[in-house]
Structure 1
Amino acid sequence: MVATSIDPLFHRAVLFDMDGVLTNTARLHSAAWKGLFDQYLAERSPTPSEDHRPFTDDDYRHHVDGKSRVDGVLDFLHSRGIGLPRGDVGDEAGEETAHGLGKLKDEHFRRVLDEQGAEVFADAVSLVESLHQHHVATAVISASRNCSRVLEQAGIGHLFGVRVDGVVAAELELPGKPDPALFLEAARRLGVPPARAAVVEDAEAGVAAARAGGFALVLGLDRAGLPRRLADAGADVVVSSLDEVTIAAPGQRRLSEIPDGLVHWNEISSRLRGRRPVLLLDFDGTLAPIRKDPAQVSLSVRTRAAVQELVQRCPVAVISGRDLSDVRGRVRVEGVWCAGSHGFELAGPGDDPIAQEAGEAALPALDVAEQRLSAELAPVAGALVDRKRFALAAHYRNVSPADVDRVVSAARQICSELPGLRVTHGRKVVELLPDIDWNKGRALRWLLERAGLTGPDLAPVFAGDDYTDEDALREVHEDGLGIVVLSVEHGDRLTWAHCSVDGADRLIELLSRIAPPPGAP
């Protein structure tokens, strides 16, 4: 059975259809289509080959819903044995062409919209806001040219960084659903590949389009009590309300549910019994406290000495988003393996660096992004653009809350316009990275294999503090131990960690229990 959940560590974006999913405007569209077609069929001269019965709800679902207005006109009339020319965009409203009748339908719709307004579905808004809390991007998709008008009336336009509607489709000459072009354009603008995005749709044509586009999860929303139609169209799972959708993956828990590793030591230690630990540690916020200026972050004398002692007892590695040379210079502990740039670079104790070749191709795009983002954020007080070899970070820790959206939006916009990049989020930072299947979890496993630190007698232990560390926590979830270092900035997000500690000092105390000195009980 397919779980009704969105995994924020895998699904980097969710694309929402508007009518019927976000707003109750599907009924307004249905009424507008019915008004158009009932009048047209009643006034058309009857012939034996044509069916002039009134427009029905089934007609709306099967022939019109989710499609462009021109395709909707043609598909419905074809089902009734009526053929009309397509016409062109210059046709007058009411002219006997698909474009002419489509414009007349729009007039019906705008009139009904102005009279009745756009009702918002609370379950949709709740889900979108929850996705944002988990740093999952959102876009709105609609075949309608009235999308922006509906969103404005509904007061939810601010929830979506990207909108691809009938106006955009006309400008770019994109085919309508069931062709996946609208969804693919939205994913491109978000900088997220379809294989890492989900789609929420209530129309058969929209479900078919998302399935054809290769999206990771196609979620059918059936508010009408007819779930079979969406399943048959290709939905992975069908729900009757978005309240049924959770943002989690099996094995994740809230930070508030994670036990303290020192308080619950007996329970935690059982995961490692009989195996030698391999310590894999994040740097900023884990071994060293977060600072307003990243350049001021350093290990305390006490922590450096403790890590040096740990190296004498078991293998130790530091995996950081900083450049490799930067993190090695700040750690300065002999015998430690280091991985920088979220694992795109790796070096053993005294070894020359090894870079992931796949990330090299993104370097020119990162160069351009650095120039553009620096210029875009220059007027934003407190914004800091930090270029690393394989990443570009925009820090907003010192930015006014009113300007945070500007920082994030600028990074997303630049990412969408440059090939080979993707966006990721951390604590008060948004980053552009090479768009390849690589993260701290993959880097962790690569490091273990490269260092020869795999096998049933070894237990990987990862400690991190940030959302970007969750890939590594997930990687060790089954065969190792995950530790999250808590901070007041975390809120109560989901995590793959098995246990928690409060700060670097408590982490060192826990690690000393995990890798005790020889002869210790």
Structure 2
Amino acid sequence: MTNSAKLNRTMGLQRSSTSNKQKVQPITKVVKNDENSVDLSLASITSNLHDISTPNGPISSDLAYNSWVAEHPSALGSFDRMMKAAKGKRVVVFLDYDGTLSPIVDDPDRAFMSDEMRAAVREVAKYFPTAVISGRSRDKLKEFVQLSNVYYAGSHGMDILVPTGPLNPCDAKNHTAAIDKKESDVLFQPAKRFLPAIQEIRTLLEEITRKVEGARVEDNRFCISVHFRKVRDEDYDILEAKVKYVLKNYPEFHLTLGKKVLEVRPSIEWNKGHALEYILDTLGFSSSSDVLPLYIGDDRTDEDAFKVIRSRGLGFPIIVSSTPKDTKACYSLHDPSEVLTFLLRLARWRKESSSSRSLAQIWGPGNLPRSLNRGSNRDLEPLKAQGNI
């Protein structure tokens, strides 16, 4: 048995014997309660989804993709096996944004998540500690997600909003003061010292890319994105050369390639994998053997988080992709519509299995969402109805 196979068995990540992904029908409608409101409850959303346990045929006839899925089985088709491995453990959910919670779009300012997806994430976050980790700025990420019961990590994890907790001595210098004493939150910003240089680079990039049609510079606070999705193929080399020319004068920065985007980032040892570890540590889960991190993402920057989960020997790294690609993920989902279905099923599984467990057991001491600690009627009533509190 190979080391990878042993790891998969330990993690409950056994490969599926089928190579066909299961097709999930998109939501075609939502249930209206009256003329001015839309029912986005878990029940109403799931009622518009076909039973995911019944295959509707392969998504793709492409042999290479089907072979890849055999190596990275569908998280939907493997759901029951995954949850069997998760039984009795504390699941912590980590989600990428673009391409995972929202579709990839030409205009990065219009990468909106659907109301159905937002409702699904809200529902998941009621039952599991949940964080959204993105290359976007943290402020922009919060504008898109619009939820108060999740943790936010922007700039590929270089800007994290976390609850106040004990700091490791080596981390203390990277924290700002508490930004909201009422909410007792602090910011963790390991690249804060680079902010002046980042703003200089942003200004230079905006100037030199003006003449490249379709190029767009996005300020993500601790990193800068140069989008080229609308740039003509013959102009890409020119754009890349211009960006590299600017960076020649900034040796403490490096260039990475994402999905139709060039990203300028400080050269520090910090990525989404470190952010995942930091959030687990902040929640008091770093040394717990019963914690199972679940990470869903679609980009190469998510690979760092996948590696961390695999190194822990316990967890579910899930990649979102409609094409074969090299990845450290053990499971796959085809697109954001399958992410939606998976999250809804995850929340439903916890609802059905948590009747005998308190939310404090699920989240861990001191980690309940503030809305629950404050006694928010909106969040408490559904849980009371389920007999969970």
Alignment of 1:362-511 (within 5 A): 362-454=194-286, 455-477=288-310, 478-487=313-322, 491-511=323-343
- Which secondary structure does the structure 1 equivalent of 2:208 belong to? helix
Q: Which residue number in structure 2 is paired with residue 12 of structure 1?
A: none
- 1: CA distance between counterparts of 2:275 and 2:104? 23
1:138-157 maps to which residues of 2 (within 5 A)?
Answer: none
Give the Cα–Cα distance (whole angstroms) in 1 for the partners of residues 186 and 105 of structure 2: 27
Is the 1:385–1:393 contact (alpha carbons within 8 Å) kept by the matching residues of 2? yes
Paired residue for 1:18? none
Q: CA-to-partner distance for each residue in 1:396-421, whole Å, 9 max, x for gaps?
A: 01110111222223223322321311
Cross-structure match for 1:285: 99
Within the alignment, does 1:299 sit opposite 2:113 as a pair? yes
Tell me the distance in 1 between the aligned counterparts of 2:245 and 2:275. 27
Describe the SS at the equivalent of 1:330. Answer: helix
DSSP 3-state at the match of 1:508: helix
Equivalents in 1 of 2:329, 2:85: separation in Å?
13
Match of 2:22 in 1: none
CA contact (8 A) 2:256 2:263 kept: yes
Number of residue pairs matched by the alignment: 265
CA contact (8 A) 2:120 2:343 kept: no
Superposition deviation, residue 445 in structure 1 = 0.7
Q: Is the 8 A contact 1:320 1:342 kept in 2?
A: yes
Instruction: Give the CA deviation at 1:356.
Output: 2.0
- In the TM superposition, residue 307 of structure 1 has moved relative to its aligned partner by 1.0
What amino acid is aligned across from residue 131 of structure 2 in structure 1? A
Once residues 443 and 463 of structure 1 are traced to their aligned partners in structure 2, the CA distance between those partners, rounded to angstroms, is 14
Question: Secondary structure of 1:518's partner?
Answer: helix
Aligned residues with identical type, % of pairs: 34
Q: Structure 1 residue 275 and structure 2 residue 89: aligned? A: yes
SS in 2 for 1:290: coil
In structure 2, give the amino acid aligned to 1:441.
Answer: G
Letter in 2 for 1:366: I
Deviation at 1:337, TM superposition (A): 0.7
Amino acid paired to 1:482: P
RMSD: 2.2
Given that 1:425 and 1:468 are in contact with CA atoms closer than 8 Å, whether structure 2 keeps it comes out as no
CA drift at 1:376: 1.7
SS of 1:346's equivalent? strand
Structure 2: where are the runs of 5+ without partners? Answer: 1-66, 164-182, 355-389
2-structure distance, mates of 1:346, 1:255: 33
Give the C-alpha shift of residue 433 in structure 1.
0.8
SS where residue 397 of structure 1 aligns?
Answer: coil
Q: Distance in 1 between matches of 2:209 and 2:186?
A: 32
Shift of 1:453: 3.4
Paired residues for 1:94-493 under 5 Å? 257-348=71-162, 352-357=185-190, 359-454=191-286, 455-477=288-310, 478-487=313-322, 491-493=323-325
How far apart are residue 460 of structure 1 and its match? 0.4
What letter matches 1:286 in structure 2?
A: T
- Counterparts of 1:493 and 1:405, CA distance in 2: 24
The residue identity in structure 2 corresponding to 1:319 is I
Equivalent residue, structure 1, for 2:352 = 519
SS at match of 1:494: coil
CA distance in 2, matches of 1:352, 1:324: 14
Q: Check 1:399–1:351 CA distance in 2 against 1; reply closer, same or farther (3 A cut).
A: farther
Deviation of the 1:436 alpha carbon: 0.5
1:266 shift after superposition:
4.1
* Counterpart residue identity of residue 276, structure 1: R
Partner amino acid, structure 1, of 2:278: W
Cα distance in 2 for residues equivalent to 1:430 and 1:367: 16
- Any idea what SS the aligned residue of 1:419 has? coil
